[in-house]
Amino acid sequence: MKVAVVGATGLVGTKMLQVLAERNFPVTEIVPVASERSVGKEVSFKGKTYKVVSMQDGIAAKPAVAIFSAGGSTSLEWAPKFAAAGIKVIDNSSAWRMDPSKKLIVPEVNASAITKDDFIIANPNCSTIQMVVALQPLHLKYKIKRVVVSTYQSVTGTGKKAVDQLFNERKGVEGEMAYKYPIDLNVIPQIDVFLDNGYTKEEMKMVKETNKIMQDESIRVTATTVRIPVVGGHSESVNIEFENDFDVQAVKDLLAKAPGVIVQDDLANQIYPMPLWAHEKDEVFVGRIRRDETQANTLNMWIVSDNLRKGAATNAVQIAEYMSANGLL
């Protein structure tokens, strides 16, 4: 199977190539695609070297699937052109997520929604992906009424410029700033731009995407998203109010059996999810699972996942895997 990776030289595009190789996706040929300034550069995949080609050449190569990680404006322009040529597109940008005609997919939650007629499939926001993987089994069992989430997000979510800023500051070196403020030894309570309601775009993504992926508009979500000086993954403190009561041990057992989830909740040995442990892993790690003692039928838990992998590249590749296995490519 011929596979195009659009945005192949970026942070997430590079990770997509790595994940495709590691998960042994049935690739016969990789078509790395990027902007004009990157055409001619070389990327490696499974020991072979491939030259980066232009968008037009990417379409002409006729891949079965194109996995996009090239930004919203690029995707709005080029994803329909790939789709018009009969190429299935899995898009990692925010361009198509809330388009009612496009599916927003997290395979553990709603892969079965994909049909052969879907030519552009949206990959959700990284912070939403890891949360809904953990929420879905609990929603099916206890029915979620409301979610209050605060995130602690890695600088890798912003990109290479932000990673460089963090390490430059750590070394005392002046350099380009991805953020308005220093990030080392600091916490920035803003991810993306502010909207008229006082929330950021990232916060509202978590609200709307959760409802769309879980196919339940009645779930109320409120979010505060925060950037912290960490690489390796995003962390989330999540408070969940259910319609029905639960047993905490039953919740742990349910999550331990849920696809894509690993429970790390051993208080005696101080074992709980951390970006340090989630880095370069594909699973969603859940711990600190405990009853909220201030309100009926309410649970607290801590969720961590590698935002470049499950939050971006791995989720996109898992969508392609599902489509391949079900004759949709």
How far apart CA 3 and CA 119 sit, in angstroms, is 15
DSSP 249-283: HHHHHHHHHSTTEEE--BGGGTB---HHHHTT--S
Average confidence (pLDDT) over 168-177 = 97
Domain 2-124+312-325 listed as CATH 3.40.50.720: yes
For the chain, the structural domain boundaries read: 2-124+312-325, 127-307
Compute CA distances 89 → 17, 59, 69, 117, 158, whole Å.
16, 11, 11, 12, 23
Name the pLDDT band for 250 (thresholds 50, 70, 90): very high
CATH pick for 127-307 out of 3.40.50.740, 3.20.20.210, 3.30.360.10, 3.30.420.310: 3.30.360.10
Residue recorded with tokens 């993504």: 205
pLDDT number for residue 310: 98
How far apart CA 115 and CA 177 sit, in angstroms, is 43
Is there a common fold for 2-124+312-325 and 127-307?
no
Name the pLDDT band for 100 (thresholds 50, 70, 90): very high
pLDDT number for residue 133: 98
H helices present in 23-177, as ranges: 55-60, 72-84, 107-110, 126-142, 160-171
Would you state the structure tokens that stand for residue 35, as one six-digit string?
């902007």
- Helix, strand or coil for residue 125? coil
Residue numbers annotated as active site = 126, 234
Average confidence (pLDDT) over 173-190 = 98
Name the pLDDT band for 211 (thresholds 50, 70, 90): very high
Half-sphere exposure of 155 (CA within 13 A, CB side): 25
H/E segment holding residue 286 = strand 284-291
pLDDT number for residue 275: 98
Half-sphere exposure of 284 (CA within 13 A, CB side): 31
Spatial contact of 179 and 192, defined as CB atoms under 8 Å apart: no
pLDDT number for residue 50: 97
Name the pLDDT band for 78 (thresholds 50, 70, 90): very high
pLDDT number for residue 171: 98
Percent with pLDDT over 70 in the chain: 100
